[in-house]
């Protein structure tokens, strides 16, 4: 039986993550993702996905190794300087990551290679963004955590604790999400015993597609249209009565609450009053859920991760062109974890296709 897009087909076994769409659960290496965001940093969760366990005594050394690889080598800066200004950021990432390929990246892939790429990606994004803005590049600081340093490099000032916590929660939640399209691309490339750089480049190319890595821009448009809590119910009612879709609600996998949205909301609830956009998002969600139950009863439409991601990006004043690259800077942890797992028990992916063309005789 043909399954278009391989939907529902189990192609491999994994210990990295589990998605339970019916119960609204996302598991990283046995741990509920909501609990991880409450207690652990980006670096600690990355360690978990790569090594299979939470760090203990070696966390300090692990963090130092990550920090030591943030600086871009001169040849990558030269490539960034020569890329045309109209080239989109995802294409830039694909090109620059590909240029990192060397004899250091051979089969089999290693955790050290994964750490290096994860450390470099925020620096590549920040360097390119400053170049486009005509501002001076802000060098990475080794006294800041991974997410705090990313925001610092982008803006040239230290972010607030609320901004760092919000973005860190988002980046932990988007590190990994099962056999999605980009992860599958990475594993297919790795299954040929190609190098880690080639596999990650495949994944970036897949993430670039709007059906996969599309930014939550439409949610931002909705929040901007509402603009203040007083307008919320009026705007939402009008959209529902016009049979318009409320952006940021509903998910093709989760049939109940998206656990990533729940975790983001829990982080934002701790910061009520610290940012007007985060406060507005919380109010809009509450109102929208109430109205959706009235206008679309039984549909089970709940907030998805893009809704609160949009609020966070707006609150930290991140340009929409950086949304998908930032998603990529987190998902690279999951990609490389899958590449490593693929290499441990490798079988090349070789599905079949059914020919539906004609058979023509030329006699």
Please give the positions annotated as active site: 251, 306
Task: Determine contact, residues 303/261, Cβ cutoff 8 Å.
Answer: yes
Determine the number of helices (DSSP H) and then strands (DSSP E) in the chain: 17, 3
Burial of 152-191, coded b for 16+ CB within 10 Å and e otherwise, reads bbbbeeebeebbbbbbbbbbbbbbbbbbbebbbbbbbbbb
Task: Determine contact, residues 138/130, Cβ cutoff 8 Å.
Answer: yes
Torsion of CA 187, 189, 193, 196, to 10 degrees: -80
CA distance 97 to 249: 34
Angle between helices 323-344 and 305-315 (to 10 degrees): 130
Please name which of 159, 132, 127 lies closest in space to residue 146, comparing C-alpha atoms. Answer: 159
Phi first, then psi, for residue 96 (nearest 5°) are -70, -40
CA distance 285 to 138: 36
Task: Determine contact, residues 230/223, Cβ cutoff 8 Å.
Answer: no
Task: Determine contact, residues 69/124, Cβ cutoff 8 Å.
Answer: no
CA distance 53 to 41: 14
């Amino acid at each position: 039986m043909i399954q278009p897009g391989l939907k529902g087909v189990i192609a491999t076994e994994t210990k990295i993550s589990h998605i339970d769409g019916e119960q609204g659960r996302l598991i990283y290496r046995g741990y509920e993702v909501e609990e991880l965001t409450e207690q652990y940093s980006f670096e600690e969760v990355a360690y978990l996905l790569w090594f299979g366990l939470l760090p203990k005594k070696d966390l300090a050394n692990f963090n130092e190794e990550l920090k030591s690889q943030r600086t871009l080598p001169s040849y990558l800066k030269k490539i960034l300087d020569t890329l045309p200004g109209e080239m989109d950021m995802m294409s830039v990432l694909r090109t620059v990551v590909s240029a990192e390929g060397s004899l250091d990246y051979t089969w089999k892939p290693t955790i050290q290679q994964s750490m290096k790429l994860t450390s470099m990606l925020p620096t590549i994004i920040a360097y390119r963004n400053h170049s486009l803005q005509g501002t001076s590049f802000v060098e990475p600081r080794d006294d800041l955590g991974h997410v705090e340093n990313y925001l610092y490099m982008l803006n040239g000032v230290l972010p607030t604790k609320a901004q760092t916590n919000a973005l860190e929660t988002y980046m932990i939640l988007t590190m990994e999400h099962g056999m999605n399209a980009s992860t599958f691309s990475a594993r297919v490339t790795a299954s040929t015993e190609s190098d880690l750089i080639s596999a990650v480049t495949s994944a970036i190319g897949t993430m670039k597609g709007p059906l996969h890595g599309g930014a939550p821009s439409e949610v931002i448009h909705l929040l901007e249209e509402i603009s203040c809590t007083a307008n919320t119910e009026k705007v939402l009612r009008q959209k529902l009565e016009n049979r318009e879709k409320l952006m940021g609600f509903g998910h093709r996998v989760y049939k109940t609450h998206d656990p990533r949205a729940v975790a983001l909301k829990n982080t934002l609830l701790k910061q009520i009053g610290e940012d007007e956009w985060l406060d507005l998002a919380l109010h809009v969600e509450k109102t929208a859920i109430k109205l959706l139950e009235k206008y679309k009863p039984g549909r089970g439409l709940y907030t998805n991760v893009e809704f609160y991601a949009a609020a966070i990006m707006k609150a930290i004043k991140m340009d929409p062109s950086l949304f998908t690259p930032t998603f990529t800077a987190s998902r690279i942890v999951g990609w490389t974890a899958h590449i490593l797992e693929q290499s441990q028990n490798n079988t090349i992916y070789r599905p079949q296709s059914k020919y539906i063309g004609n058979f023509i005789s030329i006699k």
